[in-house]
Structure 1
Amino acid sequence: MKLTGREKTELFLEGIVTVILLLLLNLSIIILINQSIMTNPGLRDGIFIIKRSILIGPNHYHLWSWENIFIVLMLIFDAAVVYWRLIRRYHQMQLRHIISELHYIANGHLDHRISFKLKGNTQSVVESINALVDSVIRSMNEERAIESSKDELITNVSHDLRTPLTSILGYLGLIQDKQYHSEADLLKYTEIAYLKAKQMKSLVDNLFEYTKVKQTGTPLSINKIDLNQMMEQLVASFELDARKSGLAISAKDTDRPLYIEADAEKLGRVFNNLISNAIKYGKGGQNIYLSAKIGKPGEAIINVSNDGPQIPPKSLNQIFERFYRVEESRNKDTGGSGLGLAIAQSIIDLHGGYINVTSDPDLTTFAIHVPIKHGDRLSQPNAKSRIG
């Protein structure tokens, strides 16, 4: 930290004034002591005896001049007082500079940081202030991101609800105005309105599930789960739907029983979302594969794979974002709520794990990494999805 010319003058004057005051104090003390000695013969004789009895060095010099010893001690004391006063004033100037920097930051210059280097506890104060400003900036950015995220959520929900709602109102309006030519038209309009209403309900249910699992305090009902048995149940549940889409679903058993501690209902929701997506977007492929294995110690990896179309590389890093869809249109037949993978990721995060996705022309694989024991957390080696 560089001192200004005015501050250097202040330090100089502080030192001069302190020296003058100390010299006056020292002179006063010496005069008072001399007067006391001169007016008290007994004290004077006692001091003389002490001088004769004190011998210094191997040659036994006598201590005759107490005034010189006293003056040396007073000079040492004076130097310490001057040093303390100057250091104290210098620290006050440092604090004044720090406060000035704080006012500058508070006036809207949030990208500014206190750059000068100090010594001792004052430097700790500077570092703490810079860290506090960084923390405030992060909090402000996070708050803005949350607000932006809320606005985006409202926009997406409004769009996805408005589209089927418009169709429902349109077809019900045709029915109310009797603008149909036959009973077949009436049934057709009713069926379309019903399907659109189911679509709206599915979106609302998914939105409710998403907001619920995003809460960090969401309770989990932990049970011991046999992954082999779970995969067999999933194959049985989705076999018919997969067959309708021209796909065969199968599970590969592990070499030995593999148990994990997890919430079976929520974990089932994850696999339902992933397998439903594999059926929905795997058209053109032939197979859906389920498999499980031990990863690192204390880690289980469950893969959901399909040999359908490759996910575009540009979409891999966004695929778990809410309302994101690989296809450009939000109104295609395959377009769901766009919340399925976001829900799956949030549920796995609640379990202390993570999901990776890889995709190449031959195979698309969602790899679910979960801890075998509840309460453990896995560290994701790469925060971004990897492209196979």
Structure 2
Amino acid sequence: MKKERVKLTAAEKSELFAEGVITVVLLLLLNLSIVILIYLTILQNQNLVNGIYFLKKTITFAGGRHLWSWQNTFLIMMGIADLIVLYWRLIRRYHQMQLRHVISELHYIAQGHFDHTISFKVKTDLQKVIDSINSLVASTVNAINEEKAIERSKDELISNVSHDIRTPLTSIIGYLGLLKSGVADPKDQQKYLDIAYMKAEQMKSLAHDLLDYTTLKSTSTKLSLTSLHIFSMLEQVAAGFEFEAHEKGITFSIETRPKELTIQADPEKLVRVYNNLITNALKYGKGATQIKLIANLVNNNEVELRVENNGAPIPSSSLKKIFERFYRVEPSRNTETGGTGLGLSITKSIVELHHGTISCESGADWTSFIICLPLNPKNAKING
């Protein structure tokens, strides 16, 4: 937004005009007094008259011209001095008016209009004050917005947790109620027990994910770093999902370049990252036939880990939100696909705990989760 100069009100313009008039009158009176005093002094001192006449004869200008009228020269000098004093008085009063405008703007902001900025500019050091005020306003607005976002996040957290707990809990109470009342058909009792157990497992998973999420967000969380052979870890992770993947017609492929790639990482937490990403691919990668686990040494300090599947792509509108807690690509909080909506958020927290980054790319052929990790998080922490 282009800033304009301070716009004076009609009263301020009148005040500035009156300041000019009063200054001119005072200067005229002062000039008159000075002229009279000098004239009287010259008349009473013949030596001063002779000195002035001598100067007039000796001082010459271009073309041999002499200074014949000292009175005119003196009056011109006084006129220049008067103009300087007049300008100084007017510009001083104008700056005072600018300061009053700034103070007025501050009072307006202090009344609760914390998003209001001072839109005019000045050519004095007062501009630094205005810039500082505008910066303070901007930081205040950001703080307020962040506070609102935190409040919304808390409300969403309570709402989502309540929903995810209430749904399985209602089923558990309902089926256990049928068993307790004895009205359930004996043939269905085992089915009811199985359903109640499954719902209890969902609640346990939610509680476990919530604990992991809050723990990882804590600044006191520490990594248990050790030397980790990537290829061996990926083989073990893939073996754990072999049965589920086989049922869905999905095969695993593992690539590490170089084959003996080793990094410093927390094995338990990094395995959790792969478990979450592979689980996500198995549940939401509809139509997938292959999951690729890839690790590449990028340079002497960084490694790139990729988990890719050739299932249905993730909508572009969801890619930016996919790592938010409780966010699901599907609009409903359907428990049929399982999960709490915390898996990818936990994954991101673990990656960031290793001083790395994670992103997601999804196209018609492949959906890729890309993780960049330092070979040694301790070195990354020191450099950061």
TM bucket by the smaller chain? 0.7 to 0.9
Aligned twin of 2:348 = 345
Partner Cα distance (1:230, 1:165) in 2:
37
Aligned counterparts, 1:352-367, within 5 A? 352-367=355-370
Gaps of 5+ in 1: 378-388
CA drift of 1:274 comes to: 0.5
The one-letter amino acid paired with 1:132 is L
The one-letter amino acid paired with 1:94 is Q
Aligned counterparts, 1:297-308, within 5 A? 298-308=301-311
TM-aligned CA distance change 1:46 to 1:315, over 3 Å: closer
In structure 2, which of residues 292, 295, 299 is the aligned counterpart of residue 292 of structure 1?
295
Aligned twin of 1:96 = 100
TM-aligned CA distance change 1:326 to 1:61, over 3 Å: closer
Q: Does 1:22 align with 2:23?
A: no
CA drift of 1:241 comes to: 4.4
Partner Cα distance (1:37, 1:52) in 2:
14
1:328-386: CA deviations, max 9, x gaps?
Answer: 54344322111101211232234343323233454332222234453659xxxxxxxxx
CA drift of 1:92 comes to: 1.5
Moved more, 97-106 or 302-311: 97-106
In structure 2, which of residues 11, 14, 20 is the aligned counterpart of residue 6 of structure 1?
11
Aligned counterparts, 1:98-247, within 5 A? 98-103=102-107, 113-182=117-186, 186-215=189-218, 218-243=221-246, 245-247=248-250
Partner Cα distance (1:279, 1:91) in 2:
70
Q: Does 1:273 align with 2:276?
A: yes
Q: Secondary structure at the match of 2:307?
A: strand
CA contact under 8 A between 2:115 and 2:137: conserved in structure 1? no
Q: Report how many aligned residue pairs link the two structures.
A: 373
Partner Cα distance (1:329, 1:67) in 2:
96
TM-aligned CA distance change 1:242 to 1:47, over 3 Å: farther
Q: Normalising to structure 2: TM-score of the pair?
A: 0.78
Partner Cα distance (2:70, 2:228) in 1:
93
Gaps of 5+ in 2: none
Moved more, 315-324 or 105-114: 105-114
In structure 2, which of residues 308, 328, 333 is the aligned counterpart of residue 330 of structure 1?
333
The one-letter amino acid paired with 2:281 is A
CA drift of 1:287 comes to: 2.9
Aligned twin of 2:83 = 79
Report percent identity of matched pairs: 54
Partner Cα distance (1:358, 1:268) in 2:
21
TM-aligned CA distance change 1:38 to 1:230, over 3 Å: farther
Aligned counterparts, 1:368-379, within 5 A? 368-374=371-377, 376=380
TM-aligned CA distance change 1:25 to 1:265, over 3 Å: farther
CA contact under 8 A between 1:206 and 1:340: conserved in structure 2? yes
In structure 2, which of residues 250, 254, 259 is the aligned counterpart of residue 251 of structure 1?
254
CA contact under 8 A between 2:286 and 2:312: conserved in structure 1? yes
Partner Cα distance (2:309, 2:229) in 1:
23
1:256-300: CA deviations, max 9, x gaps?
Answer: 543444444332221111112223334654432211113477442
TM-aligned CA distance change 1:215 to 1:24, over 3 Å: farther
TM-aligned CA distance change 1:20 to 1:258, over 3 Å: farther
Partner Cα distance (1:69, 1:376) in 2:
77
TM-aligned CA distance change 1:335 to 1:237, over 3 Å: closer
CA contact under 8 A between 1:221 and 1:262: conserved in structure 2? yes
TM-aligned CA distance change 1:149 to 1:33, over 3 Å: same
CA drift of 1:169 comes to: 1.9
Q: Normalising to structure 1: TM-score of the pair?
A: 0.78
CA contact under 8 A between 2:175 and 2:196: conserved in structure 1? yes
Partner Cα distance (2:169, 2:253) in 1:
38
The one-letter amino acid paired with 2:99 is L
TM-aligned CA distance change 1:296 to 1:112, over 3 Å: farther
Partner Cα distance (2:83, 2:226) in 1:
75
CA contact under 8 A between 2:42 and 2:48: conserved in structure 1? no
CA contact under 8 A between 1:248 and 1:288: conserved in structure 2? yes
Partner Cα distance (1:33, 1:264) in 2:
98
TM-aligned CA distance change 1:213 to 1:70, over 3 Å: farther
Partner Cα distance (1:240, 1:120) in 2:
75
CA contact under 8 A between 2:348 and 2:357: conserved in structure 1? yes
Partner Cα distance (2:319, 2:313) in 1:
10
Moved more, 306-315 or 202-211: 306-315
CA contact under 8 A between 1:325 and 1:335: conserved in structure 2? no
CA drift of 1:248 comes to: 3.0
Q: Secondary structure at the match of 2:120?
A: coil
CA contact under 8 A between 1:353 and 1:368: conserved in structure 2? yes
TM-aligned CA distance change 1:314 to 1:34, over 3 Å: closer
